[in-house]
Chains A and B, each alone.
Chain A
Amino acid sequence: MGINPEGPPMGGAEAAQLDADELAETKGSRLDKLRGRWRALPRWQQWLVLSIVALVVFFLPVINPPIITTEPGTDFPLACFDMARFALVALGLNVVVGQAGLLDLGYIGFFAVGSYVAALWTSSDSTYVHIPFLWTLPLAMVVTVFFGVLLGIPTLRLRGDYLAIVTLGFGEIIRLLASIVPALRGNVGFQNVGAPPGTHDGKQIFDNSHGTPWYMMTVAIIIVVMLLLGNLERSRVGRAWVAIREDEDAAETMGVPTFKFKLWAFGTGAAIGGLSGAIFAGQVGFVNNQKFDVATSMLFLAAVVLGGSGNKFGAVIGGAIVSYIPNRFIEIANYKYLIFGVVLIVLMIFRPQGLLPARNHLLAAIGRIRQWTGTASGQPEAAAATDAGRITLRKEEDQ
């Protein structure tokens, strides 16, 4: 010990976590090494870097960087919004699939419910009471949670493949209901879905053809959602989800009310899916039954798996990539399912954990743990090993 015992109190906050990982995967790839170095950084430096990244991401459509831009094929701000929308969906699906390990193939159903909530309460074609668009966002979340619980109560007793089949059915049921139920107007759909208020120079800010304000709003929502999900992750709830994913029976035996927490995972995921659906409806301004097919559901799942199932940053990146590629390389857009299929197969062979693997960071006060275990900050590589040895030695001396 004693090399830097008085180090910054929260300095290298995640170093303790890192040691373990470093020891476990000594042969890590370049990406993993980068991850290791990232984790060794002090907490405030991580926040600084993240803030800068968030700022750049936030103004991405304004910056419109040359090579990255999707123009002239696709309007770049609109492409950015599409990325953000996918990222938000992936973030929600990641809670269900990545965290709790419940394979949901019908996630598009929640997205559809959110879209229809926004349409029904704001569109000029709807006969319902009209409310301001921004109010439909929480309303969409509440309604989709209701649907999530409705689907979850009978189906969450099922496991693995069976759950996947039932959720697949749910996605289809929602799509078919949209076609059959007269109030949902099938193929005709709803025109003029609402938008957030505000005008600039006499023109509406949140216009259907203006991607930038929609994009910025969505990114802001993503950041808030990620912060709240982070809180969930480092709590009893996040631990229960990971425990269920790892061994449901053992979790139950350790006192985890598995059904309740699976339902919470479903509900949380559904709420985020509904939120994304409502924003999507607002931006496009038109909702009908054509956009909620199973293939899109698979695309959502591909985003989560690609980014790294169980890692919220991974899910966001995965979602953005899945949306970005067809917009950027418009000549191959028709082959996107083929390409994603091949990419996923290759990924499963060479990097089955996804781009950013799940990080089990399930306890908040890592700094305290470091005090206990005596992990020195600043030298994450060997710390765990030597520490383990030192503590046992010390114990023997004492006895």
Chain B
Amino acid sequence: MSTAIPDPADGRTVTEQEIADIVAPDREIAVSVGEPLVVLDELTVTFGGLTALDHVSFEIRRGEILGLIGPNGAGKTTCFNAMTGVYKPSHGTVTMEGASLVGKKKHAITRAGVARTFQNIRLFGDMTALENVVVGLDARHRTSVPGAIFRTPRHVREERESIERGMALLEFVGIAGEATSPSRSLSYGSQRRLEIARALATEPKLLCLDEPAAGFNPAEKEELMTLIRQIRDDGYTVLLIEHDMKLVMGVTDRIVVLEFGRKIAEGAPKQIQEDPAVIAAYLGVEDDDDGVA
């Protein structure tokens, strides 16, 4: 069986480069690593009297994998939510390539180039895996009701591209074989991977992963680390929240440590491991963390 499109079923290997080209045709590989992509400045989030994030400033540099760690309740997910428009910061700014993200609607932030996964998986359970991914791809599509009703050429083209890119993304995260299964019936690991594929589908500049390895066994974590590196190598910037220190130390380029809503350290994994404040706050209570991850 031979088809015009690169077909995983025809026995020919689809090279990772080919898949990457379909997954992210507009990615910016050439851009130099190190230039700031997203800058958080004095970001503060309060809930009533509780200050969940207290004047946190750091930058996410283009092409890096930045780890965001800290004990439970340190404000990691709050930081995510403030960046992606779920919470409104009471003070401070989040800018992406100079443009402010604060006050924008969630879908507008996604279109601006920040995609995320959820700590507790939130897929569209009744949809198939492929349809889930295509919802993400739709973020870049322009067809609306009139175009869809009358099946305009643009609509038809977008639909066709959606399916090709959607399948390529599923192939990329390794669950192409389950494309037509309802996402509800996928295994836990596949669901986590599907969430990543769906987030990548929105063509983000920054991919935020909220504890993607939660509930994984060591072998699965190893695969996930490989996948995260591949994502970075494809030209995405990754912000990673993770409890598992081995994974964080193994995959990230830089790490920001939060405790009680404040930033207590920032630097390369080696530096962080030796930072006394971090050891006191976080690594010293490793046993507890393993229990709750």
Contact = CB atoms under 8 A, between A and B. Distances in A.
B127 A372 contact: no
Contact of B138 (A23, A232, A256, A264): A256
B9 interface: yes
Contact of B131 (A23, A232, A239, A258): A239
B198 A365 contact: no
Contact of B3 (A20, A250, A371): A371
A24 B182 contact: yes
Contacts of A234: 159
Contact of B163 (A247, A255, A264, A368): A368
A237 B144 contact: yes
Contacts of A250: 118, 122-124
B178 interface: yes
Contacts of B147: 235
A242 B127 contact: yes
Nearest to A228: B149
A20 B167 contact: no
Contact of A254 (B160, B167, B202): B202
A388 B136 CA distance: 23
A387 B185 contact: no
B131 A363 contact: yes
Given A236-B148, A362-B131, A363-B159, A23 B177 contact: no
A286 B178 CA distance: 56
Most chain A beta-carbon neighbours within 10 Å: one of B3, B136, B180: B180
A117 to B, nearest CB: 22
Interface stretch (A72-80, A123-131, A192-200, A391-399): A391-399
Contacts of A20: 128, 180-182, 185
B134 interface: yes
B177 A388 contact: yes
Contacts of A358: 126
Contacts of B148: 231-232, 235-238
A89 interface: no
Contacts of B125: 246
B138 A395 contact: no
Name the residue among A228, A253, A358, A373 with the largest chain B CB count within 10 angstroms: A253
Contact of A247 (B106, B115, B122, B179): B122
A19 B5 CA distance: 23
Nearest to B122: A250
B145 interface: yes
B221 to A, nearest CB: 19
Interface in A261-314: 264, 268
Interface in B196-245: 198-199, 201-202
A373 B176 contact: yes
A16 interface: yes
A243 B162 CA distance: 16
Nearest 7 CB-CB pairings of A with B: A255-B139, A374-B9, A235-B148, A388-B177, A255-B110, A391-B177, A250-B122
13 contacts: A2-B1, A239-B135, A247-B122, A249-B86, A254-B198, A254-B202, A255-B138, A256-B138, A363-B131, A363-B163, A369-B163, A373-B177, A394-B8
Interface of B: 1, 3, 5, 7-9, 11, 13, 84, 86, 105-107, 110-111, 115-116, 118, 122-128, 130-131, 134-136, 138-141, 143-145, 147-151, 155, 158-160, 162-164, 167, 174, 176-182, 184-185, 198-199, 201-202
